Chains A and B, each alone.
Chain A
Amino acid sequence: MWRETLSSLLSGKRIKQVDYADVRVIPSHCEETLLVKNGKILQRTHSENVGYGIRVLAGGAWGFASCSTLDHKEAEKSFDRAIEMARASALIADPPVRLYPVRGPIQGKYRTPCQKDPFTEVTLEEKVKALLKTDQLLRESSAKVTLRESSMTFSKMEKIWMNSEGSYVEQELIESGAGMEVVAVLRDEVQKRSYPNSFRGNIGTAGYEFVESMRLADHALRIGEEAEALLFAAPCPETRTDLILMPDQLCLQIHESIGHAIELDRIFGSELTYAGGSFLSEHIQELGNFRYGSPLVNIVSDSTLREGLGTFGYDDEGIAAQKNDIIREGMLVGLLSSRESSDEYLRLTGKSLLPNSCMRATHSNRVPLIRMTNLYLEPGEGTLAELIHRTNEGILMETNSSWSIDDLRKNFSFGTEIAWEIKKGKRTRMLKNPFYRGMTLDFWNSCNAVCGPSEWRSYGTPNCGKGMPGQSMHVGHGASPARFGQIQVGSQGLK
């Protein structure tokens, strides 16, 4: 019924009033969250969202309308509203929006590879049992641990997308995730450790097997012990030194200081009223000739990555998932784009940049925007042990605890949960409250080692904010441990 009702809009008399239209239908989007805190089930939630969003281009301007009630009359009303918005905006559309042509029509179907459907093949009781077992192990890990949290989150979204060019795509996207954290307290000192990542763990496009593969129970004792040890650790010293970042932290560094900076809509200024701009606006003509990092830095945008949180079959403009170079041997060679921004890029530079499958919306009532997919640092060579062995003096930081970056993505500051001092090629004492800061280009140009494939890990980032009304997108990242020369580090405590 969804298909018929909305297809009829794209072939009826209304379509003649617009230059282009697409319809994104979410017949079903289920999300489940379970949270166990200090041995008690604190949260068990299930949400179900349905609806559709209609985007039209008329007179060189966009209009959008959404609705969660699908009957023919409501759908027509929504379409008319979208046209009304576009026509009103067309009065000041200068220059008019144009879409980069794509080969079509596109016909596609995609389902997240999934061994164990978290909604139909795993019972609620089984999930709760696993979390309670994890909690028990966390409880036994340290007497100083006062707070323990373990959680799971699952999502299944059906999505149908069609446009006025005759394209039609159906997708079923499944996500599974889990994580745990402990807080140890001693008087005024509070220390936290998490696994597999902070802010409720790791999420990927996969079934329940993704959660099982994390082996939460195997890491419970370690994070409890580390949280306790941090209470008695020395603060990270204020100094400039070589910095080794573990993949969980490096992923967020990639996200903030590369990912957002290379979003082409942001480069053109469309996020100035919320998320900010990009320092690359001044370098738009320099694609291919702009040095972003050292020759060891190779960054790829890949929406086909197995289990990546930014993995799908087609974006919300019907462009098939793909893998593209963004930074090759330190040179900026690619950007994240859409049909509109690719056209704009061509207009401004005279050069082609194909739309590369980055347009996504979080919900049916939000417009698609350029979003990261899976943006990762390709592995280099060697193991972490070898890298540490080759480091005379430095600090190794792991697991993000705080982040901040300016609106043009230049000046950043990150805190991590834990650090270790490296002296003469050996990991020595633990350090608490570490943080580091720097400038984007200096930082990436200081990269002097990237570990090999055996150390490479990927992490989902489920809270990437952009757009108004706000959208919290799910994107993925990956990295091996990497070393950066002479970075300013310090302690997050008070002076």
Chain B
Amino acid sequence: MKSKDQIEELLSECLARLKVAGIDQGEILYWETEMGTIRTFLNRVSHHGMTGDADLYMTAIRGKEIGRAQTSDLGRNGIQQLIRRATCQVGHEASFTPYPVLPGPFRNLSPSRKMFYESTLKMSAGERIKLIQETVDHSKTFQLKCSARLMNGGGRMGIINSSGALVIAEYTEASLSLILTDEKKVSAYSSRSSENIEFLNKDLTFQEATENAIRQKSLPVVPLQLKGNEEFFDVILGPDAVAEWIETLASTGLNGLHYEEEESFVSGRLNQKLLGENICLYDDPMELHGLHAPFDFEGVPKKKIVLFEQGVAKSVCYDSSTADKFSKKSTGHALPPFERSYGAIPRHLFLKGGKSSVEEMIASSDEPTLYVTRFHYTNVVNSKVCLLTGMTKDGTFLIRKGKIVGPVSNLRFLESIPEALNRVTLIGEPRLVHDPVGYGGLYPEGSVVPPLKIRKVRFIGSSANLES
């Protein structure tokens, strides 16, 4: 990877060349990542690879016209073409919205804590295999098969613009995910991530997945048929399940663009109580248990934003151009340059925790209650009310009279998340949920969320229903 000095030199040279090309304002992002990934399925390796990506993104503004270009060809010719494409004139100048002054100046933003660990970046192929071998050996002890994903890597990112921003950050990440299965009914998941491979708690990952798997193996499957087209259950959601709901709620409902365009459940309702009083949701890139990012993709410094305080909607998120359009201020949530038409999305969510353990939540359940560890393929059905549907997966259990009585088939829920967050009765201790496999680059983000107990969630089907 390029050193910080090399990145600064490259960015400065590109900006100088943009100015020579006659632009009024310019922004350049350099983003390089290096990642090792190993995937296994049923104790076998399916993929083991090293990928390196390095890209330059350029935004050129001249008059009202704005152009964006990207290249992974960082040779002299590649950069020349990049400038040519970013500065190419479309005509139709009147059809561009005047772009605001780019944010800045910002310099040398220091991370609030160490984000880069050489040992995480440089983990060797042999070290990865050793850890994977441990997952296989561990699962064999319990007559299970392991499908695992181990990822380690890091990145350096630098942003420069014509308003005097010049910020560079480096970070590393390691992530281990396990799915333990047997021939028939068991499927149990656990995952942990950290910026430091030394702190990747593999023992806890093994333990969590194994407990889930053994619970599925040792208890009889409960044939749960929904009564009619739908049935309501109290649920205990594990952190992975909570993160999926909260992240979807945030990307649709707390995106400033959706808010302003009246597509969000928060639209026109700021400072109103929309969630339960026990719900405090922040975007906090400095949170101790989360992954840290010092600035957004425009270089704007990140800070803690209160999204919901005791259920009252306090703010939504903006990048600089959306903020300017709607007379607001950037909250430091700009997306990568090519994704900015989607608005601004909080990517470091922190849902304030409580004191209940999952065991206590289970013990408190006199009524039939479902313990859901994870969801699959959650999607928005109606964005205005944040109505989502999706399936449970990797361990769904029925609780009766304070005890888990057995696993049930995967179930389909249909639920408005804001409404569900008005029915939270117990809250546990938060932990980081981070999935590094998005389609963009490796990036330090993720949600720190607790397990929740929620009353009367709507379920509309089961994977065991109906099939001939």
Contact = CB atoms under 8 A, between A and B. Distances in A.
Q: Do A and B come from one complex?
A: yes
Interface of A: 33, 35-37, 39-51, 61-69, 81-82, 84-89, 91-95, 124-125, 128-129, 132, 146-147, 183, 185, 188-190, 238, 265, 268-274, 276, 365-367, 401-408, 410-411, 413, 415, 433, 435, 437-442, 445, 465, 468-472, 488, 490, 492-495
A88 B128 contact: yes
Contacts of A47: 69-71, 338
A428 B437 CA distance: 46
A326 to B, nearest CB: 20
Contacts of A45: 67-70, 337-338
Interface in B15-55: 35, 37-54
A407 B377 contact: yes
Given A66-B50, A94-B44, A129-B92, A44 B97 contact: no
Nearest to B42: A269
Given A46-B69, A84-B125, A272-B42, 12 more contacts: A40-B96, A92-B45, A147-B261, A188-B384, A272-B147, A402-B379, A403-B377, A407-B393, A411-B463, A413-B460, A468-B151, A494-B385
Contacts of A65: 49-51
A128 B51 contact: no
A492 B381 contact: yes
B439 interface: yes
B52 A48 contact: no
B198 interface: no
Contact of A132 (B38, B92, B377, B410): B92
A128 B92 CA distance: 8
B143 interface: no
B467 A437 contact: no
Most-contacted residue by chain B among A272, A367, A438, A470 (CB, 10 A): A272
Contact of B179 (A46, A81, A265, A272): A272
B310 interface: no
A64 B47 contact: yes
22 contacts: A44-B68, A46-B88, A49-B70, A61-B45, A62-B45, A65-B51, A88-B129, A89-B45, A89-B129, A124-B90, A128-B92, A128-B95, A188-B384, A190-B383, A272-B147, A276-B376, A405-B377, A406-B391, A406-B412, A413-B461, A437-B460, A439-B467
Interface string B328-366: 000000000110110000000000000000000000000
A125 B92 contact: yes
B133 A92 contact: yes
A273 B41 contact: yes
Interface string B115-137: 00000000011101100110010
Given A93-B44, A411-B412, A190 B390 contact: no
A67 B74 CA distance: 12
B466 A438 contact: yes
Contacts of A125: 90-92
B52 A67 contact: yes
A51 B72 contact: yes
B70 A273 contact: no
Contacts of A438: 466
Interface stretch (B4-12, B77-85, B165-173, B291-299): B77-85
Contact of A411 (B82, B86, B136, B461): B461
Contact of A433 (B44, B49, B73, B382): B382
Interface in B157-191: 177, 179, 181
Nearest to A468: B437
Nearest to B84: A46
B341 A406 contact: no
Nearest to B378: A404
B382 A492 contact: yes
A89 B389 contact: no
A448 B460 CA distance: 25
A274 B47 CA distance: 13
A472 B439 CA distance: 7
A435 B382 CA distance: 11
B148 interface: yes
